[in-house]
Structure 1
Amino acid sequence: MLAHALLAVLVLWSLPAAAQSAAGTAAGAPAAGGALNATSYLERFPISPPDTSSPRATIESFLLIMQEAERLWVGARGSLASRPGSQPNATEQRAIALADVLLHKAMEVFDFSRIPKSSLEADSLVAVLQFKEILDRVALPDLGDIPGAAAGTFADAKAQQVLPGSWTIPYTDLTIVRQEAGDQIGRYLVSARTVDRIENDYRIIVNNPVRKDEGVDLFEYQRRSPGGLMPPAWFTLVENGPSWLMADHNGQPVWKWLGRLVALIVFVAIPVLFHLWLRRRPLPDGEAARSLRRILLPMVIILCIYAFRHIVREEINLTGSWTFAGSMVTEVIIWTVAAWSVYQVSNALSAWLLTSRRPGTEALDVSLLRTGVRVFGLCLSVLVLGYGATQVGIPVYGVVAGLGIGGLAIALAAQPTMENLIGGMILYADQVLRVGDLCRLGTLTGTVEMIGIRSTRIRAVDQTLITVANADLVKMQIVNLSRRASIHLHTVLGLRYETTPEQLREVLRQLQRVLADHPMIKPDPRVRFIRFGAHSLDVEVFAYVATTAWPEFLKVQEELFLTFTDVVEKAGSGFAFPSTTTYLARDPGLTKDGKSAPVREPAHTDA
């Protein structure tokens, strides 16, 4: 219903009488029956946007909207002031609501493209009120002298061809420009450059006499009062309190500075105290629980910032450059903390994936999924930062270009990191390693605990944690011991040289039988006499143990080795050990005829 009432007011522009009245009075007050006439056209004109088809239509539309909004605002405020301490009645609430809708409708005649989205609501209202006060104090020409038809004509594209691309109010820099791009193309709007200088122009002209107005400075009233067009009941305490509360300081009443200071202290203290409380709490056992706990503080910070911003904007109602500065700071903090939260959520999810499933029991590689979630979380947090940058006024194309240039800079300056990332992708693609695998990497043997974006963690057999960069890991010779179908048993038994051929044959037969009868030895084991060693007769034992578990293999190997010892001893032989033979002889010298004397049989000893 309120929207219909607003649109009915705007229908006045389509009436020649209304346009003629506005032209005759140089944008003076509308006819006394204007509001009543608007009501009569509710059904006939359900929608009617501001006419911005020409410079004249834009100026006239704005003045008509603001005159009706001011009438509603001043009337409701005066009615409420006649009943101190009471709440607005239904009529007053309706009038204020309609005035608020009208003010938002007046914003449509401005080009607010340069105002960041984070402060658009507050800054646009301030610009509308200040522009109204400026027009009330400058010498506007007759509306008939402004290019274009009267408001309500809604000139088409053909009629606009004869209009200038822009028009400036005489003796000012207030310019109305035809939009040449975007969804506002063809509309005459108060230029973005004019919007930028409205605040300075208002400060210059605010002390000039009012030419066409009831003498009420709507912006001044809005600047000194709390948020909203109708002051809350508690504001009477400020108005009736010490006079210094309403005194100006840096363009704002003192009570607003005090309110902002109190709100700042409260909403900074809450996250600080919450952080101290978290530090006193014991850490959860699981990595996923610890990651979720890290999300709590960012959430509290974001909630406190939103509460602080609501109080400053809606309850305290700081205006002007202080609103812009506060909005920028809070918006930067919100989106930075939001990006941090997104990354922490991805860490919590990746930790949950790692702990909720046992590696190797499912087809999906949990480690790959965990790393993928972390990379996705990192990319998403960067996108959140980029979107936040657009909210504080940085153009989206600049953000995208900055991300591209930043990515190139990272690729060049952090080349080792990129190599590690690509190395990790190669490991996943080749599937040479998985979490839980027992591997031998050069001289290092251990169990893979995590394959990350930059490095791989390996738990060595002595329980030390070793971190190997992925770029180095892909260059190593990787022996994946966990991928064996069986474990190779290979040893060489050295028998004494005193072993007779029959004893050796018996040892070979018995060793072959032991291997063939053992349930853990795969078929076709091999036992062969392979060589005469330096100190022993070497017998090679070659077999495969049907297990992939190293502890079980060691158990089977121990059992077989003890059995081999029994076999060798029962055959009457023994194991050789390194030994040397020393021959001792006496040199008989030479005979009388100069020939060598016969050599005596030497005695020898084994060492």
Structure 2
Amino acid sequence: MFLALPSEAPAQSLYQKYIKQQQKEILKAPSEKPEMPGDENGMPETLRMPAMPLMEFRAKDIIGMFPLAPADTSSPRATLDSFLDIMEETNHLIQEAYEENTGMGAFSMETLGMSKNHERLQNKIHLAEILLERARGCFDLSGLPSATRQQTSLELVLQLKEILDRIPLPPFPDIPGTAAGTYDFNQAGLENSWTIPFTQIVITKMTEGPQQGEYVFSAQTVDRIPEFYEEVKNLPSRSSIPQDLYHFFASSPGHLLPPAWFSLIESQPSWLLELYYGQAVWQWFALILITAIAAAILFAFINVMRRLPDRKKPVRRQVLSIITSSVIVGSLIFLRYLADYQINIGGPVLQVYDLTIETLVWIGAAVIIYKSLRLLSELVLLKNRGAPSIDRSIIRTATQFFAIICALVLLTYGATRLNIPLYGIIAGISVGGLAIALAAQPTLENLLGGLILYADGIVRVGDYCEFNKIRGHVESIGMRSTRIRTTDRTLVTIPNADLAKMNFMNFTAKDHFRVVLRFALKYDTSAEQLERLITKIKRMLAKHPLSQPDAAKVRLENIDENGIVIQIEDSVQAATRDEYLAIQESIIIRTLKLISDENIEVAHPFVTNYGETGNLQMPEKTVVPPVKPKPKAKAETKKEPKAKTPKKKKERKKAKKA
């Protein structure tokens, strides 16, 4: 095995030689150091290494001594050599671990009295994962979505390994660059790209990004690897392990190391392991089954949550919505884990399935953020519901706006995970925002109208106002409209844009309320009684604690058909309309008591007749005799001649002939 470490002394001495040589070159005087190469190769300063005779190590030696060292991508030869050595060692590790875990390998170990060492198997798989991560470093993966890059790149690495094992490769000395293990990024005379002869597999030099200056398999090559694999998969392999590593990985469950129960599937008919669109037949069955079960469970859970009582309460509604969204997101993540790491789906199905789940997860996360912020506002309102200084409508609207912004930011980040360019997202949002602004102009006008109402402070929740002859209390001020509850409990909705333009009266904003009352007294009230009554009413108003000084006026206004009219005017201090009505009620009751104390009667609101004796006489009712309706004349009916029947016509014709 390539990864079997050499003896400790040779490895240590080799490493010490390397370190000493590096120290000598670093400690040289500047005049003794060789000059740096020019810029003809476009090598950035950050990637240049000192021009010194670096020791050439084989890739397998580097793997054994430096487990964290990346693949050597300093030249086309180094990239190809590193990739082949890494994948050959990875193939050995995976096959040995699988044979020890299941099959004849496990049987032979049990026969020899050696039980399976789980820790040893996990170490081999862990080392294989490290090697595969290095192999990914030989690829330009910028064209793959971040959401599926890890799993998709693993399949591409395995497919390229099988491709290179089945096509003729040129001798390594003929490939441009030094051998793998030098990590010499200062090589002169290298072209920016190199193509494997008689293929379309290109190794190109990266000019930007985190891999700048490295030679990797180009993005176009990475995109066409599945196509190349389908063309050569039936050709014989030069590998020491004849089994197709990609087919083994794609048709088996688990991650790299299939579980022991996979041997049961292998013992079934071979058609269960045949690949269709990158999936084995048994994987299609398992994927459909777990998706259907998850959908049924989520559907039942959502129905149960909808039937819970008290969903109309704001706090309870938000809590239940957050729980439902969290369960859905968690179920989708678990479903993706089962599909990716247990069933081990791959190919185009992996991209469609994972991208769909990833999209739903980010949407669900945005909904959770939105609902959580709304719940926070409801809890604040619930805690401070008795505080008059808190405007509940403003808090709800501001929190809703902030929650929408946070949800949009989260969705934007999720879109970048789906490999949607950020600049494209911003441009799309700008164009979409312009289109929405044109299409939703009335809605935006209402939103701006609501902001104007908030900024001016001309109306607040709870105010008693009159809008176009509609009086009532302002119940809520939303982002689009304002709701008013009238005195007859009717709910009236007025758009904020119209409300900001119209003239309305806010009675709650009045600093004083004017009380105007009229009392009609009977004609038999004497002048002395009127004088005493007016004087007592003035004293009563002057002593009232909420009456404005010098604002009370009591006058004999008129004598009309109803009686002798006394007008009372006053200005009282009241913060709300309810307080004003209570003060007015108090003044009316006190005035009626004063009228009663003077033995004066209030005139009735209908005409009264006074006889000579001064007693009240009710008007006489005139009885109108009923008029009998005239009988209707009978309509004259004309007798129409009877129609002659066909029989009589025939008899007459016979009589004429006779």
Please state how far the C-alpha of 1:263 moved relative to its aligned partner. Answer: 0.8
Relative to 1, partners in 2 of residues 1:196 and 1:572: Cα closer, same or farther, differing over 3 Å?
Answer: closer
Secondary structure class of the residue paired with 2:184: coil
Following the alignment from structure 1 to structure 2, what is the Cα–Cα distance between the partners of residues 211 and 259? Answer: 34
Q: What is the 5 A alignment of 1:541-556?
A: 541-556=568-583
Following the alignment from structure 1 to structure 2, what is the Cα–Cα distance between the partners of residues 70 and 548? Answer: 85
Does 2:256 correspond to 1:229? Answer: yes
Q: Which residue identity does 1:516 align to in structure 2?
A: A
Following the alignment from structure 1 to structure 2, what is the Cα–Cα distance between the partners of residues 5 and 46? Answer: 11
Q: Which residue identity does 1:90 align to in structure 2?
A: E
Please state how far the C-alpha of 1:241 moved relative to its aligned partner. Answer: 3.6
Please state how far the C-alpha of 1:571 moved relative to its aligned partner. Answer: 8.5
Does 2:359 correspond to 1:338? Answer: no
- Which residue in the other structure is 2:128 paired with? 99
- Which residue in the other structure is 2:344 paired with? 317
Structure 1 residue corresponding to 2:313, chosen from 283, 286, 298: 286
- Which residue in the other structure is 1:511 paired with? 537
Range with bigger deviation, 119-128 or 171-180 = 171-180
Following the alignment from structure 2 to structure 1, what is the Cα–Cα distance between the partners of residues 457 and 168? Answer: 80
| CA displacement, residues 170-214 of structure 1 (integer Å, 9 cap, x when unaligned) | 121111121122222211221111111000110001112224553
Following the alignment from structure 1 to structure 2, what is the Cα–Cα distance between the partners of residues 284 and 60? Answer: 65
Give TM-score, length-normalised by structure 1.
0.83
Does 2:41 correspond to 1:18? Answer: no
- Which residue in the other structure is 2:149 paired with? 120
Q: Which residue identity does 1:273 align to in structure 2?
A: A
Please state how far the C-alpha of 1:288 moved relative to its aligned partner. Answer: 0.9
Following the alignment from structure 1 to structure 2, what is the Cα–Cα distance between the partners of residues 426 and 64? Answer: 70
Secondary structure class of the residue paired with 2:194: strand
- Name stretches of at least 5 consecutive residues in structure 2 with no aligned partner: 19-53, 610-658
Secondary structure class of the residue paired with 1:483: coil
Following the alignment from structure 2 to structure 1, what is the Cα–Cα distance between the partners of residues 230 and 285? Answer: 24
- In the alignment, is the contact (CA less than 8 A) between 1:107 and 1:124 conserved in 2? yes
| CA displacement, residues 41-67 of structure 1 (integer Å, 9 cap, x when unaligned) | x4xx57522221222221122112112
| CA displacement, residues 546-602 of structure 1 (integer Å, 9 cap, x when unaligned) | 333444433432342344345557387976979899xxxxxxxxxxxxxxxxxxxxx
Secondary structure class of the residue paired with 1:399: helix
**Number of aligned residue pairs:** 558
- In the alignment, is the contact (CA less than 8 A) between 1:511 and 1:527 conserved in 2? no
- Which residue in the other structure is 2:33 paired with? none
- Which residue in the other structure is 2:412 paired with? 386
- Which residue in the other structure is 2:190 paired with? 163
Secondary structure class of the residue paired with 2:165: helix
Following the alignment from structure 1 to structure 2, what is the Cα–Cα distance between the partners of residues 129 and 201? Answer: 12
Following the alignment from structure 2 to structure 1, what is the Cα–Cα distance between the partners of residues 541 and 4? Answer: 98
Following the alignment from structure 2 to structure 1, what is the Cα–Cα distance between the partners of residues 487 and 564? Answer: 35
Does 2:111 correspond to 1:90? Answer: no
Relative to 1, partners in 2 of residues 1:285 and 1:574: Cα closer, same or farther, differing over 3 Å?
Answer: closer
- In the alignment, is the contact (CA less than 8 A) between 2:557 and 2:567 conserved in 1? no
Q: Which residue identity does 1:455 align to in structure 2?
A: S
- In the alignment, is the contact (CA less than 8 A) between 2:194 and 2:204 conserved in 1? yes
Does 2:349 correspond to 1:328? Answer: no
| CA displacement, residues 317-354 of structure 1 (integer Å, 9 cap, x when unaligned) | 11211111111221122222222333333333333333
- Which residue in the other structure is 1:594 paired with? none
- In the alignment, is the contact (CA less than 8 A) between 2:359 and 2:414 conserved in 1? yes
CA-atom RMSD, angstroms? 3.4
- In the alignment, is the contact (CA less than 8 A) between 1:271 and 1:297 conserved in 2? no
Q: Which residue identity does 1:16 align to in structure 2?
A: E
- In the alignment, is the contact (CA less than 8 A) between 1:507 and 1:571 conserved in 2? no
Please state how far the C-alpha of 1:289 moved relative to its aligned partner. Answer: 0.5
Range with bigger deviation, 308-317 or 564-573 = 564-573
Structure 2 residue corresponding to 1:348, chosen from 357, 375, 381: 375
Following the alignment from structure 1 to structure 2, what is the Cα–Cα distance between the partners of residues 223 and 296? Answer: 36
Q: Which residue identity does 2:273 align to in structure 1?
A: M
- In the alignment, is the contact (CA less than 8 A) between 1:4 and 1:47 conserved in 2? no
Does 2:257 correspond to 1:257? Answer: no
Following the alignment from structure 2 to structure 1, what is the Cα–Cα distance between the partners of residues 245 and 366? Answer: 40
- Which residue in the other structure is 2:172 paired with? 143
Does 2:326 correspond to 1:302? Answer: no
Please state how far the C-alpha of 1:149 moved relative to its aligned partner. Answer: 2.2
Structure 1 residue corresponding to 2:393, chosen from 367, 378, 381: 367
Does 2:87 correspond to 1:66? Answer: yes
Please state how far the C-alpha of 1:106 moved relative to its aligned partner. Answer: 0.6
Give TM-score, length-normalised by structure 2.
0.77
Please state how far the C-alpha of 1:493 moved relative to its aligned partner. Answer: 4.7
Q: Which residue identity does 2:228 align to in structure 1?
A: D
Q: Which residue identity does 1:254 align to in structure 2?
A: V
Range with bigger deviation, 533-542 or 90-99 = 533-542
Following the alignment from structure 1 to structure 2, what is the Cα–Cα distance between the partners of residues 46 and 314? Answer: 25
Following the alignment from structure 1 to structure 2, what is the Cα–Cα distance between the partners of residues 326 and 382? Answer: 24
Please state how far the C-alpha of 1:252 moved relative to its aligned partner. Answer: 2.5
Following the alignment from structure 2 to structure 1, what is the Cα–Cα distance between the partners of residues 56 and 95? Answer: 27
Following the alignment from structure 2 to structure 1, what is the Cα–Cα distance between the partners of residues 410 and 57? Answer: 53
| CA displacement, residues 505-555 of structure 1 (integer Å, 9 cap, x when unaligned) | 444322211211233423223215486677677654221233334444334
Following the alignment from structure 2 to structure 1, what is the Cα–Cα distance between the partners of residues 530 and 604? Answer: 13
Please state how far the C-alpha of 1:243 moved relative to its aligned partner. Answer: 4.4
Q: Which residue identity does 1:230 align to in structure 2?
A: L
- Which residue in the other structure is 2:241 paired with? 214
Following the alignment from structure 1 to structure 2, what is the Cα–Cα distance between the partners of residues 350 and 87? Answer: 58
Q: Which residue identity does 1:48 align to in structure 2?
A: A
Following the alignment from structure 1 to structure 2, what is the Cα–Cα distance between the partners of residues 137 and 181? Answer: 32
Does 2:465 correspond to 1:439? Answer: yes
Range with bigger deviation, 95-104 or 497-506 = 497-506
Q: What is the 5 A alignment of 1:449-464?
A: 449-464=475-490
Following the alignment from structure 2 to structure 1, what is the Cα–Cα distance between the partners of residues 277 and 71? Answer: 36
Relative to 1, partners in 2 of residues 1:370 and 1:105: Cα closer, same or farther, differing over 3 Å?
Answer: same
Range with bigger deviation, 127-136 or 169-178 = 169-178
Please state how far the C-alpha of 1:414 moved relative to its aligned partner. Answer: 0.2
- In the alignment, is the contact (CA less than 8 A) between 2:278 and 2:349 conserved in 1? no
Following the alignment from structure 1 to structure 2, what is the Cα–Cα distance between the partners of residues 258 and 318? Answer: 11
Following the alignment from structure 1 to structure 2, what is the Cα–Cα distance between the partners of residues 369 and 562? Answer: 42
Secondary structure class of the residue paired with 2:137: helix
Relative to 1, partners in 2 of residues 1:78 and 1:580: Cα closer, same or farther, differing over 3 Å?
Answer: closer
Q: What is the 5 A alignment of 1:583-594?
A: none
Q: Which residue identity does 2:442 align to in structure 1?
A: P
Following the alignment from structure 1 to structure 2, what is the Cα–Cα distance between the partners of residues 121 and 178? Answer: 22
Relative to 1, partners in 2 of residues 1:313 and 1:566: Cα closer, same or farther, differing over 3 Å?
Answer: closer
Following the alignment from structure 1 to structure 2, what is the Cα–Cα distance between the partners of residues 98 and 351? Answer: 52
Following the alignment from structure 1 to structure 2, what is the Cα–Cα distance between the partners of residues 528 and 301? Answer: 73
Bigger Rg, which one: 2
- In the alignment, is the contact (CA less than 8 A) between 2:203 and 2:215 conserved in 1? yes
Aligned sequence identity (%): 37
Structure 2 residue corresponding to 1:129, chosen from 158, 163, 178: 158
Relative to 1, partners in 2 of residues 1:397 and 1:576: Cα closer, same or farther, differing over 3 Å?
Answer: same
| CA displacement, residues 1-31 of structure 1 (integer Å, 9 cap, x when unaligned) | xx9989x99999x753637xxxxxxxxxxxx
- Which residue in the other structure is 1:108 paired with? 137
Q: What is the 5 A alignment of 1:528-567?
A: 528-529=554-555, 539-565=566-592, 567=594
Please state how far the C-alpha of 1:498 moved relative to its aligned partner. Answer: 8.4
- Name stretches of at least 5 consecutive residues in structure 1 with no aligned partner: 20-33, 582-607
| CA displacement, residues 419-464 of structure 1 (integer Å, 9 cap, x when unaligned) | 1111111111122222223333232222222221111222222222
